Amino acid sequence: MIIGLLKEIKPNEYRVAATPTTVRELTARGHQVLVQKDAGLGSGYTNAEYAAAGAKILGTAAEVYTQADLFYKVKEMFPEEWKYMNKDKIVYTYIHSNAHPEETDAILDSRVTAIAYEDITDDNGMFPLLKPMSILAGKGGFLAALHHMQSVFGGNGTLLANVCGIEAPVVTIIGAGNSGVGAAELAAGFGNIVRILDVNPKAMETAKAILPTNVSFLYSNRENLVKCLKDSDVVINCIMWPKHRKDHLINREDLKLMKPSAMIVDVACDGEGAVETCRSTTHDNPTYYEEGILHYCVDNIPSAFARTASIMLSNATLPFLLEIANKGVEKALKENPHLRKGLTAYNGNLTLKETALKQNRPLTDADELVKTF
């Protein structure tokens, strides 16, 4: 298979889908890898390193898109890339089609085979290609709070650490999953009073076993949430809110319960999702105030740690990519139900339930679809 490694075009996106080590694994198995010139520079990888791993370096995205069978990326497909999609191509990336109706239109109209990292599952029902970026997003979310709470960066001047003679700050984390644990590890390591809210006892027990004793766990109900909002210096939301829901966990009125100039970090970056007042921001303009509360909602936090993120991401995505490349996409989808969960669309058929619900589109069952292959 001819695999095209593209340079990301989203502003402030410095990750790359594959490291030279990953390219070497692909070329060693007989696959051809085309790398767009400078695709890896944002993560510290040179064209020479990719060439040494067996890749062919091409000067433009158009050359890669035209010649490749599979587009290996990090972020969703943007309008200037849609023209390269057709029924003979495969898109393998974070697609997030539920949040991008126009992208969904382009995918369906082009009849491209689109496989989304974020929806691929494992035997435990978890999302192994989301996990590494979720961990980084959680850790990066706390580091963002540490940074933006500084007076010189527009915060209220609270140091999120246990300083002798001063009461330790309170950091509340919503969600005991990968992002929540990542945030809690750093927040607790700095000596903060850390509280994690969740509705899943098993997830809380798993997190409790690996986190230090300055992390406490509360069942996520209205009473406990209100208490945490009143006490917290920082609230970090680490849960994805169902796209079809119109209610919120934290409403605009709830912000009035918080300390003046406290901070909300929304790792999930759902516009009007779990937190009503959250909207996606960028690394160039990461924060804003609503109801006197500082908000940080950057939607690609891991890009700030691009080299680490690229290594973690490429390690996670490679096994599934090898299945696609070695077997062909139809056989791989037919034989691997976890990969099939990641199928967003095939030959003009939308197969992702979440997108169908949110955008009111017809849904094709992927399990039934592969029976026709």
Contacts of 254 (CB under 8 A, 6+ apart): 226, 229
Q: For this structure, is 96 an active site residue?
A: yes
Q: For this structure, is 365 an active site residue?
A: no
Catalytic residue chosen out of the listed positions 198, 270, 295, 299: 270
Closest to 312 measured CA to CA, from 136, 72, 96, 116:
136
Catalytic residue chosen out of the listed positions 31, 69, 96, 299: 96
Strands 349-350 and 343-346: antiparallel
Q: Which residue has the tokens 């903060």?
A: 192
Strands 349-350 and 32-36: unpaired
Considering all CA atoms of the chain, what is the largest pairwise distance in Å, rounded to the nearest integer? Answer: 69
The dihedral of CA 82, 37, 130, 235: what is its sign? negative
**Annotated active-site positions, please?**
96, 270
